[in-house]
Homo-oligomer: A and B are copies of this chain.
């Protein structure tokens, strides 16, 4: 039996359900747990968990045969053709610092192909949506199609990354080779950097150490807007790890060459 596809309105419904529980917790004193005791600071909040529960409940009712992978509650139904991938709050460090560039990420893998994705930033009121062939931004009642911008030479490119601390020393060297060739570099992105690439304001995003749920939901948005996503060597981005997003294929190739030198 062919399953019905979700549409953008369904993705927005998921995002709104998450926002309803996350936004009241934003910029309040949080009791941050520590998932990684003794291994640095990995903040997790009650909002994170409540959002994932809300998203899972709606998906479970609408598409009971689908599988789900979530950051907080793990995997269920992994034998299904379709798997939802959820990161209720991507960018928890930004969230804890009050900076509204975190987002709720929800994606759908259809036979291992990223088919639908949403990134929602509810404090600002933005929802970025994509299905691999189109992408749009909904903002306070309006909506518009988004596109990556035509790649200029890499010397005119704007590069984003969340933090140089993401990288191992070896990765850092590769990143620095690339960054030195670009014109404008900006740290502090999380998922918001990929949304700005899809919307045509950023040309390259380069990160490392990403989880599957950090990147899969963003792929249909970036590809729907005309961009490309891969690993640093041009391979599949589906496993997370070292991720390169580019406004178009030519820029991607230049970046791969610099990262791999």
Contacts and interface: CB of A to CB of B under 8 A. Distances in A.
Interface of A: 27, 29, 41, 43, 93-94, 96-101, 123-124, 149, 158, 160, 162-165, 183-189, 192-193, 196, 199, 201-202
Q: Which of A123, A149, A193, A201 has the most CB of B within 10 A?
A: A201
B163 A185 contact: yes
Given A185-B163, A187-B188, A188-B186, A201 B97 contact: yes
A22 to B, nearest CB: 15
A144 to B, nearest CB: 11
A109 B187 CA distance: 32
Q: By DSSP majority rule, is chain A's interface helix, strand, loop, or mixed? A: loop
Q: Which of A164, A187, A199, A202 has the most CB of B within 10 A?
A: A187
Contact of A196 (B98, B163, B186, B189): B98
Given A98-B196, A101-B188, 7 more contacts: A94-B186, A96-B184, A97-B196, A98-B201, A124-B124, A163-B186, A165-B185
A99 B101 contact: yes
A186 B124 CA distance: 19
Nearest to A95: B201
16 contacts: A29-B149, A93-B185, A96-B201, A97-B196, A98-B201, A98-B202, A99-B186, A99-B192, A99-B196, A100-B124, A101-B188, A162-B187, A164-B164, A164-B187, A165-B185, A187-B187
A158 B189 contact: no
